[in-house]
């Protein structure tokens, strides 16, 4: 059986930056208020460019292909994770495949919110280990800022999210390295605590003027409930991955959690009783980029030489659904 390993990864964020001071001109908030509660200083936005997740994914993938020694014709399959697809139907994967000129390569869309990247890696890993494919593009891409309320009513979510994309090449190897295991969970009892209510195919009118008036087409979040579950589920699923692979915290070189909120990251680090420098964070620069956040963080960790050959890395996520997961990697 083959192993799957991350051959390389790259990311892209739009040039347009929204600082906390920019947001303070749109709603009653301040740089101090946002940083104290979230750890975020700025986020990137597509603005009025009309760029969607597929476009951001193309930019990230082109950066990736500049780094690796394979041609795009060697890509066998694409797993595309996003919670903000370009179209209601079909998913962004097909649009991305066309924009990249990937011939008739198959695509699979993953709609797991902030856990999208861990779920996508897990699926791609199985395709490679069963020798179905050799080189799979794993994409996490989001355009969140177009569905936010930049006013006092939407302040709770508007300060959190940003836009961006990460593109990862997962390849087959005979070497003793790569993805060791993945651990995925969900609890649909909390589905209404975080998400976007409309459009919905449950109703004859999938979206109405009344829905728009009530802002049901914008993302909503019960922040306290999300925080309470996140600080419990993150450590659980990280420890699950460690126990499955007979690892201790001493064996782990770096934990890369989904960048949801720096207070959550701090709570997870303390619960795991792991050194602060072993938990990567870049939320201050990008905010919460949902399915893209882990990929962006992993790419930056590599750029900063925080990961070396043989290191044990754990990626962990928690988000809408609620859905959470971890991926344990030997680099």
Is the same domain home to 50 and 165?
yes
Which tops the pLDDT comparison, 317 or 226?
317
Domain count, the chain: 2
Which structural domain range is residue 268 located in? Answer: 179-330
Q: How far apart are CA 63 and CA 57, in angstroms?
A: 10
Catalytic status, residue 288:
yes
User: Higher model confidence: residue 165 or residue 219?
Assistant: 165
Same-domain check for residues 165 and 196: no
End-to-end CA distance of the chain: 18
For the chain, what is the mean pLDDT?
A: 93
pLDDT at site 175: 95
Query: H-type helices in the chain, by residue range?
Result: 20-24, 31-38, 53-65, 92-100, 116-129, 155-158, 209-213, 223-244, 262-272, 283-286, 293-303
Q: Which of 114, 168, 183, 229 is catalytic?
A: 114
| pLDDT over 90 at 312, yes or no | yes
Give the residue, 305 or 197, on which the prediction is more confident: 305
Does residue 142 carry a pLDDT above 80?
yes
Are residue 25 and residue 138 in the same domain, yes or no? yes
Residue 215: per-residue pLDDT? 73
How large is the average pLDDT for residues 28-35?
A: 91
- Predicted pLDDT at 99: 97
Catalytic status, residue 217: no
Quote the percentage of the chain above a pLDDT of 70: 100
What phi and psi, each to the nearest 5 degrees, are found at residue 44? -105, 145
pLDDT for the residue 184: 98
Q: Are residues 244 and 154 in the same domain?
A: no
Is residue 90 domain-shared with residue 219, that is, in the same domain? no
Sorting pLDDT into bands at 50, 70 and 90, what band is 213?
confident
Query: Is a pLDDT exceeding 90 seen at residue 328?
Result: yes
pLDDT band at 158 (very low <50, low <70, confident <90, very high): confident
229 is catalytic: no
pLDDT band at 160 (very low <50, low <70, confident <90, very high): very high
Asked if 12 and 152 sit in the same domain, the reply is yes
Is the pLDDT score of 282 beyond 90?
Answer: yes
Q: Which residue in the list 3, 135, 261, 288 is annotated as catalytic?
A: 288
Annotated catalytic residue, options 218, 258, 261, 282: 258
Please report the pLDDT score of residue 117 as a whole number: 98
Q: Are residues 211 and 133 in the same domain?
A: no
**Beta strand 323-330 with 77-81: parallel, antiparallel or unpaired?**
unpaired
Question: Any idea which of 40-44, 224-228, 272-276 has the lowest mean pLDDT?
Answer: 224-228
**Which of 176, 200, 226 is the last residue in one of the domains?**
176
Between CA 124 and CA 8 the distance in angstroms is 15
Q: Which CATH number belongs to the domain containing residue 253 in this structure?
A: 3.40.47.10
3-class state of residue 98 by DSSP: helix
139, 165 contact by CB (below 8 A):
yes
Identify whether residues 156 and 235 lie together within a single domain: no
């Amino acid at each position: 059986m083959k192993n799957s390993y991350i051959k390389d990864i790259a990311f892209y964020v739009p040039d347009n930056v929204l600082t906390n001071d920019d947001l303070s001109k749109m709603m009653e908030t301040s740089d101090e208020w946002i940083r104290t509660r979230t750890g975020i200083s700025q986020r990137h936005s597509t603005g009025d460019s009309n760029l969607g997740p597929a476009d951001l994914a193309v930019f990230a993938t082109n950066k990736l292909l500049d780094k690796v020694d394979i041609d795009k014709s060697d890509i066998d399959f694409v797993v595309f994770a996003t919670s903000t697809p370009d179209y209601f139907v079909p998913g962004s994967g097909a649009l991305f495949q066309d924009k990249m000129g990937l011939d008739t390569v198959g695509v699979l869309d993953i709609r797991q919110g902030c856990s999208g990247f861990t779920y996508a890696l897990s699926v791609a890993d199985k395709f490679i280990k069963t020798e179905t494919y050799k080189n799979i593009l794993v994409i996490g891409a989001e355009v969140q800022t177009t569905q936010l309320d930049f006013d006092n009513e939407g302040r709770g979510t508007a300060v959190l999210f940003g836009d961006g994309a990460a593109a990862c090449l997962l390849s087959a190897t005979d070497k003793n390295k790569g993805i060791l295991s993945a651990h995925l969970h969900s609890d649909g009892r909390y589905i209404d605590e975080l998400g976007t209510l409309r459009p919905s195919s449950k109703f004859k009118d999938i979206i109405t003027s009344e829905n728009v008036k009530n802002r049901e087409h914008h993302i909503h979040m019960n922040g306290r409930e999300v925080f309470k579950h996140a600080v419990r589920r993150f450590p659980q699923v990280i420890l699950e991955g460690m126990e499955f692979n007979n690892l201790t915290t001493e064996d782990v070189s770096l934990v890369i959690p989904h960048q949801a909120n720096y207070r959550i990251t701090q709570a997870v680090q303390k619960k795991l009783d792991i050194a602060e420098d072993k938990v990567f964070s870049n939320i201050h620069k990008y905010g919460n980029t949902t399915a893209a956040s882990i990929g962006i963080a992993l790419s930056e960790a590599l750029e900063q030489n925080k990961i070396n050959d043989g290191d044990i890395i754990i990626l962990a996520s928690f988000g809408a659904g609620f859905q959470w997961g971890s991926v344990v990697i030997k680099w």
